[in-house]
Amino acid sequence: MSRSAPHASPLHVLVVGAGMGGLSAALAFQHQGHRVTVVERVNEIRPVGAAISLWPNGVKVMHRLGLGETIERLSGEMTRMRYLNHHGQTLTDFSLAPLFEDVGQRACPIARAALQQTLFDAVGAEHIQLGRRCLDYTQDDEGVTAHFEDGGSLHGDLLVVADGTHSRLRGKLTGHPVERQYVGYVNWNVRVPADDDLAPLHNWDQYVGDAKRVSLMPMGSGGNDQGAPEFYCFFDVPLPAGTPNDSQRYRDELREHFAGWAEPVQAVIERFDPERMARLEIHDIPPLDTLIAPRVALLGDAAHGMAPDLGQGGCQAMEDAWVLADAVQHALTEHADTSKAIATALTHYDVARVERVGEIVSRARKRAAMIHGLDPEQTHAWYDELAHEDGDAILAGLKKTVVGGPLG
Ligand code: FAD
């Protein structure tokens, strides 16, 4: 994507939400030479959660936006994948290299704070208005106006709504409220110093049993100032909605849920800092029929909040950003009239994204159900499958998700 606008007059693109989706979109439009204003409701962005795994489809977008090398430098190098049962016996253990060679890009597990800061700096603080909550938008032939809680408003040519899974503006675009659905399990996540008594430094280890899961993923040293490698660890337990969330209880809760599990699991439970841990009830939203209004595009979790069981929510937000900005760039070369160009680009975005993200939302929910024992027989069958897995089926599934993206 070139940095110069193909169109005589660059657009003014408004972006609501400075998460990884909104900032990726802002950067993609800036790369085309458009003026971008990002508005973010909080004064200081503190990402919830320890880390995130950017799979090759997300990293490819970051490379196109000029951030690939930084992301690779700040992230962990994950070369093998292993499933173990709760006693610590290996079910399957294989190299991820064939996948990364095949798709031409490795995965990048990275601290959320490092990713957020990298995107924020790339967009530029001068283009981001913090502490401004968007309440509504209005649109007409001339463009779109975002209205804020502080009484102010901003006018632009296009509005990107990237206000996250709790999106306030989504219901206006779809014309009906979209309720989040509880997926049925609680996730605790945290970073701990990497140590080879926990897992080999470059392994992604997952312990499974009793419809619960513990994951240790190498995330490099980009998450701390000491340059010390860390593991991104998470614990999943199927629980009813509404269980108390008290950081003072995290260690005891996990000791109870994982009593008798393998030594590395016990070690993580005794080592983590509860103040740095996030505990979330996992939700998604149903797939949407459309992601557009005449001057508006819905993007990221606002458009497709999904269970994290494929590690794709953030990657899909990055794909959205790339596809949307690319569609606008092409449409502006085809139409001298801005309104027509935007209409064409938004239609292209909708066609390109609705099916792709809808399928991934559904697949993530099915995988969440399988991992977390919605149907216990299915979960046991999966454990048996893992014990006979040589990696090929898992790598094929990962590859399918990656190559289905806009950058192949
Ligand atoms: P958000 O990050 O939620 O950002 C939305 C922003 O909008 C926020 O900053 C918010 O303050 C702001 N905002 C909200 N309302 C307003 C308003 N009215 N006005 C102005 N600003 C507003 N994805 C992966 O790709 N890989 C993974 O490994 C992975 N692991 C995950 C693990 C867990 C446990 C969870 C829960 C998710 C995981 N995800 C993963 C998904 C990923 O975290 C999300 O898809 C991603 O953060 C979505 O980014 P976003 O920018 O759309 O939304």
Q: How much is the pLDDT for 287?
A: 98
> Residue 4: which pLDDT band, with cuts at 50, 70 and 90?
very low
Write the DSSP string, 154-199: EEESEEEE---TT-SSHHHHHSS----EEEEEEEEEEEEE--TTTS
- The residue whose CA has the least distance to atom 31 of ligand 1 is 308
> Residue 8: which pLDDT band, with cuts at 50, 70 and 90?
low
CA distance 203 to 34: 41
CA distance 48 to 189: 10
- pTM > 0.95: yes
Task: Compute the average pLDDT of residues 282-309.
Answer: 98
CA distance 111 to 323: 25
Q: How much is the pLDDT for 26?
A: 98
- Ligand 1 centroid to Cα of residue 196, in Å, is 31
- The residue whose CA has the least distance to atom 25 of ligand 1 is 314
Task: Compute the average pLDDT of residues 334-342.
Answer: 95
| CA 373, chain centre distance (Å) | 24
CA distance 127 to 293: 24
- Are 23 and 119 within 8 A, CB to CB? yes
- Are 217 and 109 within 8 A, CB to CB? yes
- Ligand 1 centroid to Cα of residue 383, in Å, is 31
- Are 213 and 185 within 8 A, CB to CB? no
| Ligand 1 proximal residues by C-beta, below 6 Å | 16-22, 39-42, 45, 49, 52-53, 58, 133-134, 162-165, 168, 187, 189, 280, 300-302, 308, 311-315, 317
Question: Nearest-CA neighbor of 125 among 113, 117, 114, 133?
Answer: 117
Q: How much is the pLDDT for 227?
A: 84
Bridge partners of 298, per DSSP, are 161
Report pLDDT digits (tens) over 84-110: 999 999 999 999 999 999 999 999 999
Report pLDDT digits (tens) over 359-404: 999 999 999 999 999 999 999 999 999 999 999 999 999 999 999 9
Report pLDDT digits (tens) over 109-159: 999 999 999 999 999 999 999 999 999 999 988 999 999 999 999 999 999
Surface-to-core class of residue 139, CB atoms within 10 Å of its CB (0-12 exposed, 13-18 middle, 19+ buried): middle
* Whole-number average pLDDT of the chain: 96
CA dihedral angle for residue 264, residue 269, residue 274, residue 278, rounded to 10 degrees: 70
Q: Which numbered atom of ligand 1 lies nearest the CA of 148? A: 19
